[in-house]
Structure formats: C-alpha cells, structure tokens
Structure 1
Amino acid sequence: MTSPSSTELDPLRSTIAQACQVLAERGLADGILGHISLRIDERRLLVRCRGPQERGLAFTTADDIRLVDLDGQAGGAGELDGGYAPPNELPLHTEVLRTRPDIAAVVHAHPPDVVAADLAGITIRPIVGAFDIPGTRLAADGVPVHPRGVLVRDRRLAAEMVASMAGHPVVLLRAHGLTSAAASVEEAVLQAVSVDRIATLSLRVVSAGGELADLPEADMAELPDLGGSFNTATAWRHELARLS
C-alpha cells in the first residue's frame, strides 16, 4: 500500500488541530498540556507537536500537527523541522496504537473536574440516561482508573497505563487527566467530553448533598442507539460550531 504524501495528510492535520481547539474550548485542556494523535499506517502517526511559538491547545493550527514514527522520529522529510518536537508523553499514544489494532486515534487531556472527582473517590458511573446516551453507555461499561499520577514519558510507564485501560475506550489517570481512544479523532474527543460531563454532574450532586445512583436497568434498556450520524457526525458539527 502506498503511503500518503504530506499534502494528502493536510485534511487530517486540520481535523486534529480543530479537535485540539475543541478540547480547549470545552475546558478539558485549557492550557499548554494535552495532545491528540491519529494512526496513519503501521509505523507512523500524526500528533500535535510543540514548536517554538507554543501558545496552548486553543491556538493549535494544522502546522502544529506533525508526522512521526512510533519511536518519535520524523515520519517524513521536514516533519520535525523548525524546532518542532513530539510531546514528552508520545509513548502514551504509541503504546495504545501498538497494542490496540482497533484504535486509530488517541486523546490525552487534563480535565479538572475529572481529576477532582477521582481524587474525591467518585467513579464515573451511569448516573444519567437520555441526558447523554453515548456517555451513559460508556460509563455503564466501566471507566477504569490508572493509579499513578506520573508523566507517561516512556514505554514502561505507557504499558502500565494500557494495562489499567484493560481494553476500555477511556482510562482516568489519577492526579493527571484521562486518555481516550477510538476509531476516529471525533469519537475519541466526544468520549472525553462525555466523561468530563459526568464527572462535573457527579461533583455537583455530591456537593449538593445528594447521593449518586446508577440508572436503573429498565431505563438503560430503553435507551436507543441513535446511530453514528447523530452521535458522532452531528455532535461533531456542534463542537466545531462552538469554536466560531
């Protein structure tokens, strides 16, 4: 199979850049930390890199999205020119991609409410129903917690995170943030948004003196699958519209 040229990757660079902006607009990565990657082939991925004019995820452009290989080397001519470098936590992305052939995109973000809820001992549970059907289903399947608040800077630490992830689409990183993995950039970001939303609601309920309770099984059974065109495509158009 012929590898795509740099020009052919331009639409994907734009998609990842917009996704980084969505994370920032949603408050999941409102500073300079966080990154998104997308598998291109067996050895290469596009990932948000940091350049000499780094300003944070809200200001990501397509030029910040560079092609690298699984070892963090340039994946094509000029890809790391101009002072660009992969994130320190690139192994967080590459270890997921190495071990999960079903995954194409990885999001790493630092949502404050997700971190706060976990530190307070609040797990991500299906406390809502039709309020967020994809999020409810994700929570019902379980959102594991990786217990180490470390910078996932090498394959050993990344393998520990992947083990904690245990095949789930999202894993919380204690005192750190979350990692979300999916078949597309859009799905990976929307998963992170749903987990953050449930964490925020959980904190509000507990702060108001309430008790968290899972959605009854009878209600869970009544939640329809609205399909990818609604859950992903329409939801993603909304996220992009929020940017403007």
Structure 2
Amino acid sequence: MTGFAQERALVAAACRVLAARGLADGVLGHVSLRTGPNTLLVRCRGPHERGLAFTEPADIRHVDLDGAPAGEGELAEHAVPNELPLHTEVLRARPDVQAVVHAHPPDVVAADLAGLSIRPIVGAFDIPGAQLAAGGVPVYPRGVLVRNRRLAREMVDALGDRPVVLLRGHGLTSAAGGVEQAVLQAISVDRLAGLTLRITASGGRLVDLPDADLAELPDLGSGFTVATAWRHELARADVGAD
C-alpha cells in the first residue's frame, strides 16, 4: 500500500469527525475520495475494526469502481464496504463529485420517519445549511442496504443534481467537490433535522425562511464556510489531517 498519504489522512480524519459529531456511531458509515476516472480511496474494514471514531489512514484503501484493489496490498487484510456501490455509482453519474459521505445520523432518520422534511427554517444561524435546504433535500424511499449497482442507481436517481439525499430508515449520502464539503453538508443537514425535531416536539410550527431573507444571506466564501469550518471540526474532534 503506497501513495496518497495526505488523501488517506484526510479521509480518515473525515471519518473521525463524523463520529465525533454523532453522525456515524459504531462501525457503520464510510467516506470516499475520487483519485482518477475509475479509482477512489474509501474507508475499509480491517481485521481489528473499531469503528469510525478510531479510523486511521491505514484503513483507507485504494480501489477501482468495481471494488478491486488499485495497487499492491491494498486489500490484503481489508474489505471494501458492503455499500461500496453507493459511492461508485455517485462517482459514475456525477463528474462534479469528488467525495462521498455515507452516515447514519439518528436525528435525520427520526425526522424523515416522522414525515418532516429538511427545510430552510434557519437563516444566519447556518447559512450554508439554509441555502442547501432551500434547494431541496430529496429522499430515497427504500430502507435497504445499498449493496449493488441497481439499488445504488435508484439512490442516485433520487439524489439527482442535489448535494445530499436522505435514505429512509437508514441515513444520508452527501456528495461534494471535496471531502471537507461533503462532511460539512452532512453536519448541516443533521443540525437542521435536530432543530426540526425540537421545534415540533415543543409544539412549534415549522416555517420556512422568507425568500427575501434567503436572498440577503451572503456568500461568505469557501475560506470561511469550508476551510475555517473544517479546522474547527478537526479541532473539536481532536484529529489531524496530516
């Protein structure tokens, strides 16, 4: 196993951030990063699997879109996720996507099962989240393990050109141009789901932010919304990316 040291460290850090945020408890969930037209790095399970919170760069393996090793020793003691097609079908269908996150946030699952959509109910509280929700967060309505290309294509059809799709009774898939963005999108959706549950549980009514207010939300730039936010996530999870 050689090459892509920084990229493996980044994907491993992303897994640990997801766990620290409570989006990937236990041994479930995975993160991938495109490395070429037909290859990707993906979080795999090894002989001493301990869960996403303890992911190390050595758990990130280089494979092709069919799950075969893309280098010597890549899968010597590790196995690709059962839901590898969830990642590879997104990468096949969406050339704009470089990274895919699959996680199991309990609040996201609960809100969807309660019939509550992810809506732009906040404004400056979470500007990227509000803008993401305003564009719509679709739902893949099957609570299945996305373990083959047929099911993965169904999920990709539900995702369409959006950045995040919910998976009923299962979790979410987040797709973006980078690992950091994919993770931050998942965190925003989870935050909105948690607020939605709290508001409705207290007897409140969900109200979308008015279009005029959405239009006033500024683009703070990726240096703040991605780079600074990512440094915060690494710090709060006490992980590094190199």
Map residues 58-137 of structure 1 onto 2, 5 A cutoff: 58-81=53-76, 83-137=77-131
Name the CA distance, whole Å, in 2 between partners of 1:147 and 1:134.
Answer: 25
User: For residue 177 of structure 1, what is the aligned residue in structure 2?
Assistant: 171
Name the CA distance, whole Å, in 2 between partners of 1:217 and 1:69.
Answer: 43
CA shift digits 1:41-99 (9 cap, x unpaired): 01110000000100000000000000000000101111011x20000000000000001
Residue 40 of structure 1 aligns to a residue in which SS?
A: strand
Name the CA distance, whole Å, in 2 between partners of 1:217 and 1:183.
Answer: 27
User: For residue 165 of structure 1, what is the aligned residue in structure 2?
Assistant: 159
In structure 1, what residue type is equivalent to 2:226?
T
Q: How many pairs are equivalent?
A: 238
Shift of 1:10: 0.4
In structure 1, what residue type is equivalent to 2:227?
A
Shift of 1:6: 2.7
**1:206 matched to 2:188:** no
CA RMSD of aligned residues (A): 0.8
**1:192 matched to 2:192:** no
Choose which of 49, 52, 75 in structure 1 pairs with 2:47. Answer: 52
User: For residue 40 of structure 1, what is the aligned residue in structure 2?
Assistant: 35
Name the CA distance, whole Å, in 2 between partners of 1:40 and 1:159.
Answer: 21
Provide structure 1 residue ranges, at least 5 long, that are not aligned to the other structure: none
**1:6 matched to 2:2:** yes
In structure 1, what residue type is equivalent to 2:112?
D
Provide structure 2 residue ranges, at least 5 long, that are not aligned to the other structure: none
Name the CA distance, whole Å, in 1 between partners of 2:72 and 2:171.
Answer: 33
Give me the identity figure in percent: 70
In structure 2, what residue type is equivalent to 1:103?
V
Residue 180 of structure 1 aligns to a residue in which SS?
A: strand
Name the CA distance, whole Å, in 2 between partners of 1:157 and 1:73.
Answer: 20
Choose which of 20, 23, 27 in structure 1 pairs with 2:22. Answer: 27
CA shift digits 1:128-151 (9 cap, x unpaired): 000000000000000000000000
Name the CA distance, whole Å, in 2 between partners of 1:166 and 1:42.
Answer: 20
Residue 171 of structure 1 aligns to a residue in which SS?
A: strand
User: For residue 237 of structure 1, what is the aligned residue in structure 2?
Assistant: 231
Residue 166 of structure 2 aligns to a residue in which SS?
A: strand
Name the CA distance, whole Å, in 1 between partners of 2:7 and 2:136.
Answer: 30
Shift of 1:221: 1.1
User: For residue 217 of structure 2, what is the aligned residue in structure 1?
Assistant: 223
Choose which of 6, 10, 18 in structure 2 pairs with 1:15. Answer: 10
Name the CA distance, whole Å, in 2 between partners of 1:219 and 1:99.
Answer: 34
Shift of 1:186: 0.1
Name the CA distance, whole Å, in 2 between partners of 1:243 and 1:134.
Answer: 21
Shift of 1:27: 0.2
In structure 2, what residue type is equivalent to 1:128?
V
Name the CA distance, whole Å, in 2 between partners of 1:75 and 1:201.
Answer: 42
Name the CA distance, whole Å, in 2 between partners of 1:164 and 1:233.
Answer: 29
The structure with higher relative contact order (CA 8 Å, sep 6+) is 2
Name the CA distance, whole Å, in 2 between partners of 1:6 and 1:211.
Answer: 53
